[in-house]
Chain A
Amino acid sequence: MIIPLNKEAVEVKKEQDTIFLRNRIKECATKTGMGLVNQTKLITAASELARNMLRYAGGGNVLVETVSKGRENGVRLTFKDTGPGIPDIAMAMKDGYSTGKSLGLGLPGTKRLVSEFDIKSTPGTGTVITIIKWKNG
């Protein structure tokens, strides 16, 4: 069972907000004792998801939590927006798929960088993406 130890909500409405978000995540990750490589992976993943949220959904909210499961500690991030949603998630998760004339690296790359990745999206309602990076994950 995953137990949240503490939580904080961060609004992402403009590009500069992502810098604040990165710093908050860094602080949380440091508290869990996470090493630099895992921290870097987590923050990079968050940067990708925050950009997607801004670009495709006009912004949203991120819940930043330190969590524990058994003896393992980590950071859980929940990205929530009320944008257009993703009609075909399997397609969006493929390397190279982009509706934004981009590289299509964000979602599949993010999944590779974190320990756990969950995406729920309803067209017309929005998208919720949850990632966890375990301290030793």
Chain B
Amino acid sequence: MDKIPILRMGHFLLVTIQTDLYDRLAMSLEADLVQMVSKTNAKGVLIDISAQSIVDSFMGRIIGNIASMCKILDAETVVVGMQPAVAITLIELGLELKGVHTALNVEKGMELLQTKIILPTEDTSDDDDYSA
């Protein structure tokens, strides 16, 4: 079965969903992400959906689930890159993404996560290698 890769960047996990999602793939991403957050003690999760041309009620719900489960594990979730047409459609469909932060792009999303999270004091310069 297909799998969506999860990248670790210091205290954050980064997911870029490049393939078209079907339900089982979305569900396995949910399970993998939550497991990874708990294993790595990640403080933030960034999900890039800029390649998704649609988000329907099921995928929207999965994103909501990820956010609320991560919250329990003390991690914040930011969804970035939602296309305007997708946002308009979600509203009309009647789905609210409760508890999910959104940002325009990966860079802005990272900034947002940084403001939401109080990182343990340590040198974080090793993150720079990945941030380009």
Q: Which single member of A40, A51, A109, A110 contacts B53 (CB below 8 Å)? A: A40
Q: Is A106 an interface residue (CB 8 A)?
A: yes
Question: Of the candidates B20, B23, B54, B61, which one forms a contact with A44 in the assembled complex, judged by CB atoms under 8 Å apart?
Answer: B54
Interface residues of A in 45-97 (CB under 8 A from B): 47-48, 51, 95
Main secondary structure of the interface of A (DSSP, over half): helix
Spot the interface stretch: B32-40, B67-75, B84-92, B108-116: B84-92
Residue in A15, A16, A19, A113 whose CB lies within 8 Å of B89: A113
Q: Residue B120 at the A interface, CB < 8 A?
A: no
**B residues in contact with A40, CB < 8 Å:** 53-54, 83, 85-86, 88-89
Q: Provide the main secondary structure of the chain B interface.
A: helix
Q: Which of A15, A18, A39, A106 contacts B57 (CB 8 A)?
A: A106
Q: Which residues of A contact B95 (CB under 8 A)?
A: 103, 105, 109
With a cutoff of 8 Å between Cβ atoms, the chain A residues found around residue B22 in the complex are 15-16, 18-19
Range of interface residues on A (Cβ < 8 Å): 20 to 34
**A51 x B23 contact (CB < 8 A):** yes
Q: Which of A1-35 contact B (CB under 8 A)?
A: 15-16, 18-19, 22, 26
Q: Is the CB of A37 within 8 A of B61?
A: no
Q: Is the CB of A105 within 8 A of B53?
A: no
Closest to A40 in B: B85
Q: Is A112 located at the chain interface by the 8 A CB criterion?
A: yes
B23's nearest neighbour on chain A, judged by CB, is A15
In the complex, A119 has a CB within 8 A of chain B:
no
The one of B57, B88, B92 that contacts A103, using a Cβ cutoff of 8 Å: B57
Task: Using CB atoms and an 8 Å cutoff, list the residues of chain A in contact with chain B.
Answer: 15-16, 18-19, 22, 26, 36-37, 39-41, 43-44, 47-48, 51, 95, 102-103, 105-106, 108-110, 112-113
| New A-B pairs, 15, CB < 8 Å, besides A19-B20, A40-B85, A113-B92 | A15-B23, A15-B24, A16-B22, A26-B53, A40-B53, A40-B83, A41-B85, A47-B54, A47-B58, A48-B57, A51-B56, A103-B95, A105-B93, A106-B57, A109-B57
The 9 closest A-B pairs by CB, nearest first: A109-B93, A40-B85, A15-B22, A47-B56, A37-B85, A19-B20, A105-B57, A44-B54, A36-B85
